[in-house]
Amino acid sequence: MQRYLKYIFHGKISLKNLVCILFLTAQFSSMLLGRSIHRTPNPTIPYITVTASNQDYAEKWVKSSKKNQKKLKVNKFQNKYLRLKTLKKPFENSNFKKHSLPNKDIKFRKSDETVHASVLKKQNELVLQEILDGKKKFTHFTILKDTDFNFTNLSGLIVLKYKSFPFVLKLFIEHPHTFIEPFNKGFHASGLFVMNGNMRHLSGFTRIHNLEVARKALSKDTQYRYYLDFPRKWYWIPLAQPYLTIDWHDEYHNHHETIKLPGIYGIICDFIETDKEIQQQEIHTLRQISVDVGTYLHNIIDSHVDNFVPEKNSNKIVIIDTEHFPTMVGLDKAMSANGYIQWYIELAGKYVKTAFLRTKQKRMHDQRVV
């Protein structure tokens, strides 16, 4: 570890690469130490089954997928990292309807211009159809980020910018057969699942409520309230109302629950234009601010520096990603890191501890507790 830190300080290895090394080592070891498929499933490990509320709509996505899906009689998934709390609480506490896009004119962030919500909704429906049709270039949107989206099975998170309006659409798509494949969504997504049974689809439901909590807390600080800001955010769900029904089965404790949540939904938020010059010149200051703000908020916000964006022509730093960080990574107490390197190392240690050092009793408790 000291050798890696020496390389970091001399610029030979990035913080991101250090965490990748730790995570990949843990993932590879986990594969080697995994339970044989020929052994009887561990009865103490819960499992879930997932179905679609709108079966006809779900079938369209399966047929449009470029991957030949083997149709399962039951979409079942049993894993020691599943957590009932992570499956249940994000949507339950989201106030989804309250925070849905209102049916009225939406004012732009930095001008008096407006667009009616119906226009945004219509464009959302069209881009969803274009994704369903297998397109990667869209009529009304440009892609900002698609590294967490799988164009083969048409699932994951894709971030889009409206071409005609200063708004962003973060589109979350999961189907019964993709929801049970958390390790097929990329390296970062696999790490989140190990740490707390989390998927971006689930923690996405925490973004708006957590934003409100963070804004209220920051407003009490005499400095933070003047130079920190957030984009406005609203939820959107397609007209098809594609809900997933997730049945939790804990046979060992004779505990069964049913959870319903949107299989496809979006978050519409203000587009924040980044001041690239300040972002590059003040990167070390931004890193320290991100850790300090995370500490002040008891780590409810992800302190990654990319979430703290200096906005062009506003003299404000905008916190763009507001997922509930304890839900993302399974924190059960505040982090002790007071610097950026320590923050990364502490997270890596949390991953290793969860992946390898949990007792059976601790694992069973983590999976059951709500």
Q: What is the pLDDT of residues 248-280, one digit of tens each?
A: 999 999 999 999 999 999 999 999 999 999 999
What is the sign, positive or negative, of the torsion defined by CA atoms of 252, 258, 263, 268? Answer: negative
Whether 35 is in a domain gets the answer: no
Q: What pLDDT score was predicted for residue 164?
A: 98
In 11-56 the beta strands, taken as DSSP E runs, fall at 47-52
Burial degree of 215 (CB within 10 A; 0-12, 13-18, 19+): middle
Distance from C-alpha of 316 to C-alpha of 94, rounded to nearest angstrom: 27
Distance from C-alpha of 351 to C-alpha of 95, rounded to nearest angstrom: 30
What is the pLDDT of the chain when averaged over all its residues?
Answer: 90
What value, to the nearest 5°, has the Cα angle with vertex 270 and ends 265 and 274?
125
Distance from C-alpha of 293 to C-alpha of 299, rounded to nearest angstrom: 8
What residues are paired with 260 via a beta bridge? 245
Whether 37 is in a domain gets the answer: no
pLDDT in tens, 27-83: 555 544 455 556 688 999 999 999 999 898 888 898 887 665 555 578 999 999 999
Q: What's the token pair of residue 340?
A: 């950026």
Q: Is the pLDDT of residue 196 over 70?
A: yes
Distance from C-alpha of 359 to C-alpha of 362, rounded to nearest angstrom: 5
63: CB partners within 8 A, 6+ apart: none
Domain that holds residue 255: 2-30+43-368
Whether 98 is in a domain gets the answer: yes
Whether 364 is in a domain gets the answer: yes
- At 184, the pLDDT band (50, 70, 90 cuts) reads confident
CA proximity to 60, closest of 136, 139, 128, 126? 128
What value, to the nearest 5°, has the Cα angle with vertex 25 and ends 22 and 28?
150
CA proximity to 244, closest of 173, 339, 192? 173
How many CB atoms are located within 10 Å of the residue 163 CB?
Answer: 11
Distance from the first to the final alpha carbon of the chain: 35
Whether 52 is in a domain gets the answer: yes
Q: Are 310 and 317 in contact (CB under 8 A)?
A: yes
Q: Is the pLDDT of residue 328 over 70?
A: yes
Q: Are 169 and 267 in contact (CB under 8 A)?
A: yes
Whether 59 is in a domain gets the answer: yes
Q: What pLDDT score was predicted for residue 189?
A: 87
- At 15, the pLDDT band (50, 70, 90 cuts) reads very low
Q: Are strands 317-319 and 228-229 parallel, antiparallel or unpaired?
A: parallel
**How far are the Cα atoms of 275, 278, 284, 292 from residue 281, in angstroms, in the given order?**
10, 5, 8, 19
Whether 94 is in a domain gets the answer: yes
Counted domains in the chain: 1
Q: What's the token pair of residue 169?
A: 């659409």
